Amino acid sequence: MTVFHPQNLENLDSKMLKEKMKEQSWNILFSECGRGVSMFQTKKTRDLVVRGIPETLRGELWMLFSGAVNDMATNPGYYAEVVEQSLGTCNLATEEIERDLRRSLPEHPAFQSDTGISALRRVLTAYAYRNPKIGYCQV
C-alpha cells in the first residue's frame, strides 16, 4: 500500500489534500490496471469513480468512460464539422445560450475568461444544432 506524503502538509488545505489523495489513488490504479482504452475496469475502478474523480483527470476519464474517445476515433473531424455548420445560426436556442453563458458555472475558473466562454458557446450551439428536438436547456 502506498501512502501519500505531501512535503508541505501545512500549506495544503483539506480540499486540496483530498484531491491529491484521489489523484494518487488513481495513479496506483493506472499502474495496476493500465490507462486509457486498454485499462481494465474493475470493482476498484468503480469504487474510485464513486468516491469522486479528481479535477485533473475528469476530462480524460469522462472521454474514456463515456465512450467519447471511441466516437472521436471512428468519426474524425465530426465535431469540427458540426461547429462549422452551427456557426452564425440564430434561433431560440442560440438566444438562450447567449443569455445564459456568463451565468453558467460562475464559480468554475475555466469559464471566467473569454476563451472559456467561447468554448462553452461552441459546444452548446453545436449540440443544439445537432439535436434540434432537444435544443438547449439550462439545468
Cα-based angle 60, 103, 100 (whole degrees, multiple of 5): 95
Write the pLDDT tens digit of every residue in 72-123. 999 999 999 999 999 988 999 999 999 988 887 888 888 888 899 999 999 9
Sequence letter at residue 14: S
CA distances (Å), origin 7, targets 1, 13, 17, 20: 19, 13, 11, 12
What is the pLDDT at residue 139?
67
**123: how many CB neighbours lie within 10 A of its CB?**
13
Q: How far is CA 132 from the centre of its chain?
A: 23
Annotated domain spans of the chain = 9-73, 77-130
- Give tens-digit pLDDT for 121-139: 999 999 999 999 999 987 6
pTM of the predicted model as reported, rounded to 2 decimal places: 0.68
Q: Average pLDDT of the chain? A: 89
Q: What is the pLDDT of residues 4-41, one digit of tens each?
A: 555 555 556 888 999 999 999 999 999 999 999 889 98
Amino acid present at 24: Q
Judging by beta carbons within 10 Å of its beta carbon (0-12, 13-18, 19+), is residue 1 exposed, middle or buried?
A: exposed
What is the distance between the alpha carbons of residues 6 and 10, in angstroms, rounded to a whole number?
Answer: 9
- pLDDT at position 133 is 92
